[in-house]
Structure 1
C-alpha cells in the first residue's frame, strides 16, 4: 500500500470513529454549543467566535523534491509556510539532482512525491522519454510557471580577469574556438545544455557542421559537473571560461572565497535556467474507490483528503512564487528573469534572456551522446532480400538505412571505434555474416573513409534471408574477443525482419548462450533497431534484455535517423540503463 493509501485509510477510520462519538455526545455538544455561544456573547466576542479557523488535527504530509541548487531556499520557505496559523501541512523538502529525480519518476518509483522543482522544464520531456523506453506509464505532471531563474554566463577567475579587459565575449567565439571553454557534461548540467542551445542559435545559416565540430571539441575531457569545471578553471591558461549559471557563480563565491569567479555576460544574448513547479497528479486513490459502474463508492473521505492536499500544494506554490527576496539571497532571479542581486561576481540588474526550447534541447542531447562518448561499436546490418522493399518515400529500405548510417558515422567523434558487418543467410558458405570493416578508431581518417565506403556499398550486397540469431551471437563474441574495460563495448544491429535461418540456433539457445557469456562481467549490450513493420520486436526485446541493451522500432521511414541517433546516444549508460 502506498503512503497516500495508508494516510487515506487512517483518515477514513478516524472520521468513522468520530461520527460514532459525535452521535453519543450530541446532546452534550448541543449544551456546550449554547453555553459557548452564550459565553462569547456575554464577553462581547461573538463575531470572533463565529469566524475562528478550525483546528488542524491532521496536517497534510507533503513531499517536494527540489534540485540541489534551489533546495535550500525552498526548504526554508516551506518551513515558514508550515508554521503559519492558516496552514495545515508538514512538508518534507528533499534535495536531489534533477537527473536522479527524472530517473526515479521514469522507473515508476516516485509515487510518494507530491511536487518536483527541477532546474529546467526539459527534464519533464526527458523523464517521459525514459519512462516510455522502459515500457512504463509516464507520470502525470502539471507544469506550472517557474519559481526562480538564472541566466547562463561565462565564468572566469577574478585573478585572470585582465585577459578579458576591453573584450566582448559571444557564443560565436565558443563556436569558432577563439574562446577556450570548459563545458560540464550537458547530460547532467542544465547550464551546459542551455549554453549549447545558445551556441546552436548563433550558428550561421548553412554551417550546421560548425556546431557539431564545437561539440566534439567541448566534449574532449568535459568535466562531469560545473563545480569540477570551476576547479579546472583555476589551473587553466588565462583567457579560459567555463559555462555556468549566474547563480552558480554567486554561490561559488559565497562558499569558496579562496578562488572567486566573475560572471561575464554573452554579447549575443543568453538563455536562463528555469525552475518550474511540477505537481504530480495522482487520481489513483479515487479510481480505486469507483465500482464497475463508475459510481463513487465510499470515496468521500479520500476525495476530501486529495482536495485538502491540492489546497496545501497551491498555497505552498504561491508562497514560493511570492518570496523572491529569499531566492535573491541565494543568487536567483525571479521566475520571469527579473529582480536585483547583491552578490559578489555578478551584476546587480537583470540581463535580458531568451526562452529555451525543450524539443531543441532533446535533439542537442541526442547529438551530444553520439559525438562525445568513447566506445567500441560493431555495426551489424541486415542485407537480406527484403531490404529491397520500397518505402512511402520512394526509396528502398536499404537506401534509407545507408543514408541514416552514413550521416550518423559522420557525426561520431574520434574517440569511437567502429566496425561493420553485413548479414543474411549463407553469406560465406554456411556463415550468415560477413566482416566488411574491422573495429578500429575513427580517429584514423583512412578507417573513417573505409567505413563510409562500406556503408555506401550495402545496396549492392543484397540477397538471402535473415540469419538473425547466429549473427547476433557471433557479433557479441567478436566484440568480447578484444574487450576494452575502459570503454563501452557494444553491438548495434539493424534489421527489417525476423530470423529465417532454419539450420541455425534457436532463440532459446541464443538467449541461454548470451546469458552465459555475460557471467564473467564482460558486458556487451546489443542495441537493436527494427526497420519497418515486419520486424520481430518480441525477439529483439528479449535479446536486448539478455545483454543489457535496448530495442528500438522505426515503423516509419522518416523515423530511422532519429531512432538510430537515440540508440547510439544512450549507449553511455549500457548495460545499466
Structure 2
C-alpha cells in the first residue's frame, strides 16, 4: 500500500536537559530548522560520499551471499539499531537458503537518522527500511515538507516484529512495586515517579505518552498536563541515563521503555538488571514495519523485486531470531525466554496510534519548552483580607505558589516583582528577584525566600497598569529566542493608582510593542471577588495571553496548572 500521511506539522524542537549523549543517536526530525541543518551537513560533508556511491559509502559492505554465490544480486536493508542484529540473522539464513544468488546487507541506523535521509532525498541504494515505529513515516513526510520537498513515495508493509511499551524498574528496588498494581494511572496520581527518555527522539517514550493520555479520566482535564510538566522536569538523554536516575531516585521510579529494551539491557548489563512492569491498563507496542524504498529501474529490477518480496516474507516469519533478542512476533505474541520479562504475552499489545502520538507530542513539546517568565505579585493592603479556611489572601497565594514552583525545571528562568503604589524608587513595582535560571541554587532559594516572606511587602493600593506596562517593556527588551517569554500577574483587585496610565493608553502601548515573532503573552490571575476581570481580559487579549479568575482558595491551585499548561500555545489554545 502507498503511504498516505497528513503533512501538517505540530512539531517544534527546542529541546533541553540532555546532559549526556544518547548511546542510540536518533535523528531529530520535528523542527524544520533542525532538519534543514541536518540536510546541510549531509550536503557539505557526507554528501560527498553519497554522490560517489550512495549509502554503501556510509556503511562498510559486509554481505557475501550464500555458498557458491559468486555474482549475487545485492539487497540493502536499513534497520533500526534495536532490530538490526536479529534482522541480520534473518538475512544470513535467507541468503544461504535462497534458490537465487543473493547477498542481503542489513545496515544498522537509528530510525530518526534514516527518516532524515529519506526526507532530504539523500538515502540512495537502499531497497527497504525497518524503523522501530510507523510514526517515523509521518515524521519523515513532515520533515520533507518543511524542506520544500515532496514526501518520498515509500510503501509501508506489515510488521516484522513487535515489542510492547512497558515500565522498566531496577530489580534492586522491585520490592517497592510489589504492594500494589502499577499502571499509567499510577503515574498520573503521582504515587510513583516516572522517567521518559526524550519523546522527540524515542518512539517508545512517545507511545508511552499516548497511553498515559488515554488512561486519564475524562472528568479531570488538568491531570495529563500536570503529569507531563512533572515528567518534563528531568528528560534523560538515553535509556541508560534513565535507569541510573531511577536507581538513585528518592521514591519508587520507573522508566518508560519497551520489553525488548529490558531484555537488551539485561543481556548487556547483568549486574544492574531491570524488571519489566506491565501497565495494568494495558499499553501499545512498537510495530517495526517493513518499508519499501523506491529505486531506479535497472537490468536486475525484476529479480530484485522478486527477492525483496521473498525477503519480506521471511523477515516476517523470523520469530526465532527475534525472540532471542527480546521481540514478540509480528502479531504481538510468541515466547521470550529472558530474565526480567514475561515468557508469554497474555494480551498482544496493539500498535501505537499515530494520531494519538502526534497529539501527545504536541502537548509534551508545549509543556516542556524552556520558559522565561516575570511574575508580578499584588502586595496591596487588600491581600491581608480573609480568604476562607482561616487564611488571608496572601497566604493562599503563598501555598499555591509553593506547589507551582516545584513544577518548573531548572532551565526555567524566573524573576519576581511585587507591586502596589508607593514602592521604593517611586515605581509601582519592586524587583525582589531578577529573571534568572532556577538551576542556580542561590537564585531558587531567593525566590523561595521571597514567597515565604511576602506579607512583609504589603502596603498601599493596587498599581496594576503601570506594572504591566513596565513588565511587558522589560520582557520585550530582554527577549530570549528559543524560550517562552511571558509575564504572569497575580492580583486580587483592580487598578487603584489614580496617577497611572489609563487602560486604553496601556492597550495602545502594548499594541505598539507587539511583535508576532517575539511574543510576550501576559497571563493574569485574579483572586477574590474584587477582581476587575473585564479589564484583565482586554489586556490578555492584546498580548495573546489569558485571564483567569479564582474565587476560592482551591481554585488558585487549578488556575496555576492551567496557566502552566497553556503558557506556550497562545493565542490559539
**In which range does the TM-score fall when normalised by the shorter chain?**
0.5 to 0.7
The question of whether the paired residues in 2 share the 8 Å contact of 1:126 and 1:362 is answered with no
SS state of the match for residue 243, structure 2? helix
SS state of the match for residue 272, structure 2? coil
Residue in structure 1 matched with residue 268 of structure 2 by the alignment: 255
1:236 to partner: Cα distance: 2.4
2:354 to 358, 381, 384: 358
Residue in structure 2 matched with residue 324 of structure 1 by the alignment: 319
Change (3 A) 1:259 1:125: same
C-alpha distance in 1, partners of 2:520/2:157? 41
1:154 to partner: Cα distance: 1.2
C-alpha distance in 1, partners of 2:507/2:571? 24
2:231 to 202, 210, 218: 218
CA offset digits 1:223-261 (Å, max 9, x no partner)? 012222122222223522111101111111111111111
Residue in structure 1 matched with residue 5 of structure 2 by the alignment: none
C-alpha distance in 1, partners of 2:55/2:178? 62
Change (3 A) 1:5 1:344: closer
SS state of the match for residue 75, structure 2? strand
C-alpha distance in 2, partners of 1:306/1:566? 52
SS state of the match for residue 102, structure 1? helix
The question of whether the paired residues in 2 share the 8 Å contact of 1:88 and 1:312 is answered with no
Residue in structure 2 matched with residue 404 of structure 1 by the alignment: none
2:337 to 324, 336, 342: 342
Unmatched segments (≥5 aa) in structure 2? 1-50, 57-67, 375-406, 416-471, 495-502, 522-565
CA offset digits 1:336-376 (Å, max 9, x no partner)? 11001110000111132234211221222122222213255
1:371 and 2:367 aligned: yes
1:207 to partner: Cα distance: 2.5
Alignment of 1:403-414 (within 5 A): none
1:231 and 2:227 aligned: no
- TM-score (norm. length: structure 2): 0.56
Residue in structure 2 matched with residue 244 of structure 1 by the alignment: 257
2:199 to 180, 186, 190: 186
The higher relative CO (CA closer than 8 Å, separation ≥ 6) is in: 2
Residue in structure 1 matched with residue 141 of structure 2 by the alignment: 128
C-alpha distance in 2, partners of 1:3/1:104? 15
Residue in structure 2 matched with residue 312 of structure 1 by the alignment: 307
> Which protein has the bigger helix share?
1
Alignment of 1:538-557 (within 5 A): none
Change (3 A) 1:306 1:565: farther
Residue in structure 1 matched with residue 103 of structure 2 by the alignment: 90
C-alpha distance in 2, partners of 1:377/1:205? 31
The question of whether the paired residues in 2 share the 8 Å contact of 1:2 and 1:111 is answered with no
C-alpha distance in 2, partners of 1:115/1:212? 38
SS state of the match for residue 243, structure 1? strand
Alignment of 1:295-310 (within 5 A): 302=298, 304-310=299-305
1:136 to partner: Cα distance: 1.2
C-alpha distance in 2, partners of 1:357/1:338? 19
The question of whether the paired residues in 2 share the 8 Å contact of 1:440 and 1:447 is answered with no
Alignment of 1:415-564 (within 5 A): 415-416=411-412, 435=473, 437-438=475-476, 447-449=487-489, 461=507, 491=518
The question of whether the paired residues in 2 share the 8 Å contact of 1:341 and 1:349 is answered with yes
Change (3 A) 1:65 1:375: farther
C-alpha distance in 2, partners of 1:107/1:566? 32
Aligned Cα RMSD in Å? 4.1
C-alpha distance in 2, partners of 1:109/1:329? 33
Change (3 A) 1:417 1:135: farther
CA offset digits 1:534-558 (Å, max 9, x no partner)? xxxxxxxxxxxxxxxxxxxxxxxxx
The question of whether the paired residues in 2 share the 8 Å contact of 1:192 and 1:244 is answered with yes
1:465 to partner: Cα distance: 12
Runs of 4+ displaced beyond 4 Å: 1-6, 55-58, 375-378, 412-419, 436-441, 443-446, 457-468, 491-494, 564-568
CA offset digits 1:60-94 (Å, max 9, x no partner)? 22221111111101111112212224133222211
The question of whether the paired residues in 2 share the 8 Å contact of 1:418 and 1:440 is answered with no
342-351 vs 76-85, which moves further: 76-85
1:205 to partner: Cα distance: 1.0
C-alpha distance in 2, partners of 1:464/1:450? 19
335-344 vs 362-371, which moves further: 362-371
The question of whether the paired residues in 2 share the 8 Å contact of 1:117 and 1:275 is answered with yes
Change (3 A) 1:462 1:245: same
Residue in structure 1 matched with residue 286 of structure 2 by the alignment: 273
SS state of the match for residue 208, structure 2? helix
1:413 to partner: Cα distance: 6.3
Larger Rg: 1
CA offset digits 1:450-505 (Å, max 9, x no partner)? 89x9xxx999957999999xx79xx8xxxxxxxxxxxxxxx4699xxxxxxxxxxx
C-alpha distance in 2, partners of 1:566/1:62? 49
Unmatched segments (≥5 aa) in structure 1? 7-54, 287-301, 379-411, 420-433, 476-490, 495-561, 569-577
1:114 and 2:109 aligned: no
Change (3 A) 1:169 1:464: closer
SS state of the match for residue 332, structure 1? coil
Residue in structure 2 matched with residue 137 of structure 1 by the alignment: 150
Residue in structure 1 matched with residue 440 of structure 2 by the alignment: none
